[in-house]
Amino acid sequence: MTRRETRLIAWAAVLSSVATISALSLVGVIAEAQETASTPRPPTCMSDEVRERVRGIMIDAIDDALHDHIKTLFGVWMKDERGQPARAEIGARQAIRAHQLSRKSAVDWNPPEC
Confidence (pLDDT) at 14: 58
Interatomic CA distance for residues 2 and 14, integer angstroms: 19
pLDDT tens track of the chain, all 114 residues?
A: 677 666 656 666 555 555 567 666 666 667 676 666 666 777 788 999 999 999 999 999 999 999 999 999 999 999 999 999 999 999 999 999 999 999 999 999 988 888
Interatomic CA distance for residues 99 and 26, integer angstroms: 36
Confidence (pLDDT) at 44: 83
Confidence (pLDDT) at 22: 63
Cβ-defined contacts of 55-64 (< 8 Å, 24+)? 55/106, 55/107, 55/109, 58/106, 58/109, 59/103, 59/106, 59/107, 62/99, 62/102, 62/103, 62/106, 63/99, 63/103
pTM (whole model) above 0.85: no
